[in-house]
Amino acid sequence: MFNFAAALLVPRLTRRLGNARLVFLGLMLGILGLAWLGQAGRDAPYWTAVALPMVLIGVAQGFVLAPLTAAAVADVTSEDAGAASGLVNVAHQLGGSLGLAVLVLVFAAAEPAGLAGPEALAYRVDAAIGTSALMLLAALGVSLATLHQRAAACVQAVPSAES
């Protein structure tokens, strides 16, 4: 629900902030939501420890998907637009599958020394959530580097007044 609501705001926010800032905002909200969710303890209240972080994560997803897709096909010629869009969709599917595979591996490999039952499960879930936050942090770094390179290339491509 919050993912959809955020996605409805994307066109207006893109005009106001631009794609790069919206991607940055979305990734930061996702990192914050995952970090907050990772702090949930055994007796934590649902609304503040689970529901609100999940709202942030949903808003983050809504803010990031469309701007990243638009950035991926931004400079593609009209003849190649279909192929580029297909490639973007393949990247979404592969990224989700590979990301999930990594998180399952982290969950399975987490060694809850001396813990059993629900405590061991909580330990493994915490490891997967922490890894998710690190993966989003890596995505933020890649996005910032890529968007910075694109901005620098655009500045260099603009002819100067002296030319």
pLDDT, tens digit (0-9, with 9 covering 90-100), for 94-152:
999 999 999 999 999 999 889 999 889 999 999 999 999 999 999 999 988 887 676 55
Residue 7 is assigned to a structural domain of this protein? yes
> For residue 66, is it within any domain?
no
Note whether residue 78 is domain-resident: no
pLDDT at 71 over 90: no
User: What are the b/e assignments for 25-53, b being 16+ CB within 10 Å?
Assistant: bbbbbbbbbbbbbbebeeeeeeeeeeeeb
pTM greater than the 0.85 cutoff = no
Total domains in the chain come to 1
Q: Provide the domain limits for residue 44.
A: 2-60+88-157
Query: In this structure, is residue 65 part of a structural domain?
Result: no
| Domain-embedded: residue 68 | no
